[in-house]
Amino acid sequence: DTGVSQDPRHKITKRGQNVTFRCDPISEHNRLYWYRQTLGQGPEFLTYFQNEAQLEKSRLLSDRFSAERPKGSFSTLEIQRTEQGDSAMYLCASSLRGAGAGETQYFGPGTRLLVL
Amino acid sequence: SQQGEEDPQALSIQEGENATMNCSYKTSINNLQWYRQNSGRGLVHLILIRSNEREKHSGRLRVTLDTSKKSSSLLITASRAADTASYFCATDAGAGKSTFGDGTTLTVKP
């Protein structure tokens, strides 16, 4: 399967613990995105990378959140000192940035986080 | 707040009927995309329509875009039970990231 993969698929943690999620994009894609989705709502943009550079961060991304894409391939999203409000589905997507307008983002299956 | 808003929030139809969902947005866009999401799963890309296009077709899907009204519609013809899912529109204003609405939940009854 050459789609976007995310690991783990589910994570249950206690409040105050740190968690790290991994995303492996489609291999030739140079852009990678992180979104967060809560029940009954659409995905909300968190941050995105072009190659290894983090180009934009949403104000939703507090200082407890950090994302990296060290070699321009896979990415990690870490949440420190988790809070119950962090419970959500964390979605990763990748795309190929081209010269023209209109790039399709391909989404992974998501990591569902539950903070107790 | 989200850029796009889907309407209706929920739609229930019988198998074989057509389903129409609408999306309105607030700012100028480069393109608009529709996605499907089955419960608890990731999003599946359905169709992309660019700002200079007015209509696109893909199989049983028909998407229209009216940039003067800042709105789009997704029509699913001859619906099937397997079409039961949430449908989201997402707008790209040029920065690459997509801004999603809160979706329309479609239920197709067999």
Min Cα separation A42/chain B (Å)? 4
Structure tokens at A97: 């940035």
Give the percent of chain A with pLDDT over 70: 95
Q: What is the average per-residue pLDDT within B44-61?
A: 94
Interface of A with B (CB under 8 A): 4, 31, 33, 35, 40-45, 48, 50, 55-56, 89, 91, 93, 95, 97, 101-110, 112
Report residue A98's pLDDT band, with 50, 70 and 90 as the boundaries: low
**At A71, is the pLDDT very low, low, confident or very high (cuts 50, 70, 90)?**
confident
Q: What is the pLDDT of residue B95?
A: 65
Angle at B99 between CA B96 and CA B101, to 5 degrees: 155
Written as six digits, the tokens of B42 are 């990731």
pLDDT > 70? residue B6: yes
- Tell me which residue of A32, A47, A31, A46 sits closest to A86, measured CA to CA: A46
Do A90 and A10 meet the contact criterion of CB atoms below 8 Å apart?
no
Pairing of strands A111-115, A10-13: parallel
Q: Which residues of B touch A (CB under 8 A)?
A: 2, 4, 30-31, 33, 35, 40-45, 48, 50-51, 88, 90, 92, 94-103
What does the pLDDT read at residue B1?
Answer: 43
Closest-CA residue in chain A for B45?
A: A106
In this predicted structure, what is the pLDDT of residue A104? Answer: 84
Q: Which of B43, B45, B47, B92 to mutate to test the interface with A (most CBs of A within 10 A)?
A: B43
Ramachandran region, residue A95 (left: φ > 0; alpha: ψ -120 to 50; beta: rest): beta
The residue ranges of DSSP E strands in chain A, in sequence order, are 5-7, 10-13, 19-24, 31-37, 44-50, 53-57, 65-68, 75-79, 88-95, 106-107, 111-115
Contact A96, A28 (CB under 8 A): yes
Q: Is the predicted pLDDT of residue A29 greater than 80, yes or no?
A: yes
Q: Give the confidence band of A2 by pLDDT, cuts at 50, 70, 90.
A: confident
Q: A104 vs B51: CB contact, 8 Å cut-off?
A: no
Residues of chain B found within 8 Å of residue A101, distances taken between Cβ atoms: 30-31, 50-51, 92, 94
User: Cβ contacts (< 8 Å) between A102 and chain B: which residues?
Assistant: 30-31, 48, 50, 92
* Minimum mean pLDDT range among A105-109, B91-95, B101-105: B91-95
Q: Two tokens at A59?
A: 């104000």
Find, in chain A, the residue whose alpha carbon is nearest to that of B91: A102
What pLDDT was estimated at residue B37? 95
Element (H, E) at B107: strand B104-109
